[in-house]
Amino acid sequence: MPFETKLPKVGTTIFTVMSQLAAEYGAVNLGQGFPDFAVPQRLVDELAVAMRAGHNQYAPMTGVPALRQAIATKILRCYGAEVNPDTEITVTSGATEAIFNAIHAVVRPGEEVIVLDPAYDCYEPAIDLAGAKAVHVALDPQTFAVDWRKVQEAITPRTRLLMINSPHNPSGAMLGEADLRQLAGILRGTDIFLVSDEVYEHIVFDGRRHESVLRYPELAERAFVVSSFGKTYHCTGWKIGYAIAPPALSAEFRKVHQYNTFTSFSPAQYAFAAMIRDEPEHYEQLGAFYQAKRDRFREQLLATKLKPLPVPGGYFQLVDYSAVSDLPDAEFVKWLTVEHGVTAIPLSPFYESPPAGQRLARLCFAKNDATMDAAIERLLKL
């Protein structure tokens, strides 16, 4: 029976496409962003304890109380912000669900949502499903900095929501204090809500401070702040995240959440609660852990024809491949996988309109040294 698709621009995600191609050709997969090393042993042990203790049925819709309290304590410790664990924190099945819920909680058909390109690929489909329009504002093609004048110019009477992401995927760029203060000025006096995607919040380098929206009360009062345990604890397959928002926004968010996933994997929630409470040094030392990987990988890349760009945060390294090939990025990463056995992600799927002539690819360095060494050995032959 014929029907009209609700997502005409959507196909299989580039992450799935490239991971399948990597498997087919036996390539070193530096494409999809997942670690290939073990999760903390304490986390595994606490998961087993929770399951043996019988925590195997539905968790409360908003999340296990112990986990919400642990998150609130961590937020105060990290950002000096007091959030109510009962009315302002909701545990979700990953950050992607939280982003979907936030959009559908406040965005109505015919309204507009501003996204900053390149943007993570789950944003626009959720906007489309809400019957709204994504308005794309391009970041600087070299530095991935925000031009706040362009953001201001993109605002119309139909603008309902603005989405930011720091540390940024795919570039690793970070918003600074000046950015957040300019954003506050732009939104002041408007009815525009904010989604702040902060899943890489603890993976920041070179002594920089993560400028969470939670540090800025004027922004936090209109924001959904989203994070992910998968990135922080090397367990992307567990799919547990959370959203922090003021009580009124959280109430609307939970209306969507309860009819989307309703609740999330119970034993993992107990495990994360114990890990956050008893081993805060894990997230406190995460930046140093990944900085060592970034620096090692960057040094190796300098011996290849690929030019690494600066990486202030996150666990992705952008490389300029213009000294290797003139192919468009989607063709280049397939060629790199098939002919040289290393898989990367192109940047063009993160854009509405990719910059003309851009020759950049994204490599993930959340990998064991042996994995990175195997990739470099092949990249040296380019």
Q: Does residue 5 fall inside a structural domain?
A: no
Tell whether 124 and 56 lie within a shared domain.
yes
Tell whether 244 and 360 lie within a shared domain.
no
- CA atoms in the 13 A half-sphere facing the CB of 313: 24
Q: Does residue 63 fall inside a structural domain?
A: yes
Q: Does residue 370 fall inside a structural domain?
A: yes
Q: Does residue 257 fall inside a structural domain?
A: yes
Tell whether 274 and 332 lie within a shared domain.
no
Tell whether 324 and 375 lie within a shared domain.
yes
Q: Does residue 6 fall inside a structural domain?
A: no
Range of the domain at 192: 41-282
> What are 33-58's pLDDT values in tens digits?
889 999 999 999 999 999 999 999 99
Tally of domains within the chain: 2
Q: Does residue 242 fall inside a structural domain?
A: yes
Pairing of strands 360-364, 316-320: antiparallel
Tell whether 276 and 293 lie within a shared domain.
no
* pLDDT for residue 360: 97
Report the CATH number at residue 88. 3.40.640.10
With contact defined as beta carbons under 8 Å apart, do 59 and 53 qualify?
A: no
Q: Does residue 1 fall inside a structural domain?
A: no
Tell whether 277 and 133 lie within a shared domain.
yes
Q: Does residue 2 fall inside a structural domain?
A: no
> What are 211-246's pLDDT values in tens digits?
999 999 999 999 999 999 999 999 999 999 999 999
Task: Tell me the pLDDT of the chain averaged across its residues.
Answer: 97
pLDDT band at 32 (very low <50, low <70, confident <90, very high): confident
Tell whether 234 and 313 lie within a shared domain.
no
Pairing of strands 345-346, 342-343: unpaired
Mean pLDDT lowest among 29-33, 271-275, 306-310: 29-33
Tell whether 184 and 278 lie within a shared domain.
yes
Structure token digits, residue 377: 């050995």
Asked which of 233, 260, 282 is the last residue of a domain, the reply is: 282
Asked which of 282, 314, 349 is the last residue of a domain, the reply is: 282
Asked which of 282, 309, 341 is the last residue of a domain, the reply is: 282
Three-state DSSP string of the chain: CCCCCCCCCCCCCHHHHHHHHHHHHCCEECCCCCCCCCCCHHHHHHHHHHHHCCCCCCCCCCCCHHHHHHHHHHHHHHHCCCCCCCCCEEEECCHHHHHHHHHHHHCCCCCEEEEEECCCCCHHHHHHHCCCEEEEEECCCCCCCCCHHHHHHHCCCCEEEEEEECCCCCCCCCCCHHHHHHHHHHHCCCCCEEEEECCCCCCECCCCCCCCHHHCHHHHCCEEEEEEHHHHCCCHHHCCEEEECCHHHHHHHHHHHHCCCCCCCHHHHHHHHHHHHHCCHHHHCHHHHHHHHHHHHHHHHCCCCCEECCCCECCEEEEECCCCCCCCHHHHHHHHHHHHCEECEECHHHCCCCCCCCCEEEEECCCCHHHHHHHHHHHCCC
pTM: 0.96
Tell whether 18 and 55 lie within a shared domain.
no
pLDDT band at 1 (very low <50, low <70, confident <90, very high): confident
Tell whether 67 and 156 lie within a shared domain.
yes
Report the CATH number at residue 372. 3.90.1150.10
Tell whether 154 and 254 lie within a shared domain.
yes
Tell whether 173 and 250 lie within a shared domain.
yes
